[in-house]
């Protein structure tokens, strides 16, 4: 478990992190998002013990990174965006070298190297020089090195950066498997990947947390936001389209109805927009269609992508005067 309590960080007169707090539980993958200068890298470095917070504290499995730094760091596996690999070494040699840095005895080193190579799918490639491996397999070596000491907490910075689609799917599946028994924090700029991978997202801007929740909840926005619905139905000779549109228009909180594209035979598609603050209108829309004798083939609420919400959040922070890591100390 990771507990971050009101941490602050200054670099001279630059106020990089401003009162950030959150808790991460095992069995969950949390994505940490933010634009350049948002403070997320500084936050990660405070979590893994590279920086000490100027105020507040970080607890890793109950160990304070300030007062019990060695014990806290021993519980964290960290894979930075640019993993410091030695290209002239074979993958298994590099992992053995890293295991020695952890103080493991020879027998335990062999066991752990074999275990992480198998877990990360290195196979026979573990005997090849790291410089001869593809980007995807170098990422696997970096992840294997973070797992050597079997830490209960994993912090991964851009784990799928630079990978091809097949490698991304493989690394995503591996991260999912590893998260079942660990607390997992992932930082990434690839928002669609975060949406697929993470159970929770924390968005930072100006050194602060500006959103925190499940990707679907964050993507949907607040209850005061307007919603859009797509409905496709068959009109036929027995259905009066004008009456159908009138019926939908009388549904409380409906703001507008727009036909989408051209008719496909008897089938017609509509985009219905609701007013802000309204409830879910899908049942009322379906009931209106049934009342008019229209057969509904599709009815769904349009979900806003994380990318769109991310842009809206940052625009809102800018409008409120939010600043990034370049902000001067007050």
Q: Give me the pLDDT at residue 191, please.
A: 77
End-to-end CA distance of the chain: 33
d(CA 148, CA 83): 14
Residue 104's pLDDT band (cuts 50, 70, 90) = very high
For the segment 298-319, the average pLDDT, to the nearest whole number, is 70
Least confident of 237-251, 263-277, 287-301: 263-277
Is 2-220's fold the same as 228-301's? no
Integer angstrom CA distances of residue 313 from 31, 125, 295, 318 = 16, 43, 39, 9
Q: To the nearest 10°, the Cα dihedral for 310, 316, 321, 324? A: 0
Q: Give me the pLDDT at residue 125, please.
A: 93
For the segment 166-191, the average pLDDT, to the nearest whole number, is 85
What kind of fold does domain 2-220 have according to CATH? Rossmann fold (3.40.50)
For the segment 15-41, the average pLDDT, to the nearest whole number, is 91
The H-or-E segment that residue 117 falls in is helix 106-119
Least confident of 21-35, 103-117, 182-196: 182-196
The H-or-E segment that residue 23 falls in is strand 14-24
For the segment 191-199, the average pLDDT, to the nearest whole number, is 82
Where along the chain do its domains lie?
Answer: 2-220, 228-301
Kindly give, in sequence order, each residue whose CB lies less than 8 Å from that of residue 74, ignoring residues fewer than 6 positions away.
Answer: 149, 151
Least confident of 43-47, 229-233, 234-238, 292-296: 234-238
Q: Give me the pLDDT at residue 216, please.
A: 67
Beta strand 28-33 with 200-205 is: parallel
Q: What is the pLDDT of residues 132-170, one digit of tens each?
A: 998 888 888 999 999 999 999 999 988 887 777 887 888
User: Where is mean pLDDT largest: 114-128, 177-191, 305-319?
Assistant: 114-128
In Å, how far from its chain's centre is CA 145? 22
Q: Give me the pLDDT at residue 34, please.
A: 83
CATH number of 228-301: 3.30.70.3190
Q: Give me the pLDDT at residue 30, please.
A: 94
Q: What is the pLDDT of residues 59-103, one digit of tens each?
A: 999 999 999 999 999 999 999 887 789 999 999 999 999 999 989
* 264 CB neighbour count, 10 Å cutoff: 10
Instruction: Say if residue 33's pLDDT is above 50.
Output: yes
For the segment 27-51, the average pLDDT, to the nearest whole number, is 90
The H-or-E segment that residue 29 falls in is strand 28-33
d(CA 80, CA 151): 16
Instruction: Say if residue 210's pLDDT is above 60.
Output: yes
d(CA 143, CA 296): 48
């Amino acid at each position: 478990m990771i507990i971050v309590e009101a941490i602050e960080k200054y670099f001279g007169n630059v106020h990089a992190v401003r009162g950030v707090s959150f808790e991460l539980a095992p069995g969950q993958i949390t994505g940490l998002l933010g634009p350049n200068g948002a403070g997320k890298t500084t936050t990660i470095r405070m979590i893994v013990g590279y920086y000490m917070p100027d105020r507040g504290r970080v607890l890793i499995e109950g160990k304070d990174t300030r007062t019990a730094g060695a014990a806290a760091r021993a519980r964290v596996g960290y894979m930075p965006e640019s993993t410091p690999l030695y290209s002239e070494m074979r993958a298994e040699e590099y992992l053995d070298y890293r295991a020695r840095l952890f103080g493991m005895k020879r027998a335990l080193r062999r066991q752990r190297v074999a275990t992480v190579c198998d877990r990360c799918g290195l196979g026979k490639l573990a005997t090849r020089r790291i410089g001869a491996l593809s980007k995807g397999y170098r990422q696997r070596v970096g992840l294997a090195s973070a797992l050597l000491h079997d830490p209960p907490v994993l912090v991964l910075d851009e784990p799928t950066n630079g990978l091809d689609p097949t490698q991304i799917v493989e690394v995503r599946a591996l991260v999912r498997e590893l998260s079942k028994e660990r607390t997992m924090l992932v930082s990434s700029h690839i928002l669609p990947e975060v949406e697929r991978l993470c159970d929770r997202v924390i968005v930072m801007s100006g050194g602060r947390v500006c959103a925190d929740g499940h990707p679907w909840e964050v993507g949907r926005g607040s209850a005061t936001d307007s919603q859009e619905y797509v409905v496709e139905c068959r009109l036929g000779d027995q259905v009066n389209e004008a009456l159908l549109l009138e019926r939908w228009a009388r549904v409380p909180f409906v703001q507008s109805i727009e036909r989408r594209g051209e008719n496909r035979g008897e089938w017609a598609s509509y985009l219905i927009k609701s007013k802000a603050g309204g409830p879910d209108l899908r049942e009322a829309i379906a009931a209106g269609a049934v009342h008019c004798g229209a057969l509904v083939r599709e009815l769904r609420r349009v979900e806003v992508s994380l990318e769109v919400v991310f842009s809206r959040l940052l625009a809102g922070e800018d409008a409120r005067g939010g600043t990034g890591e370049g902000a001067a100390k007050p």
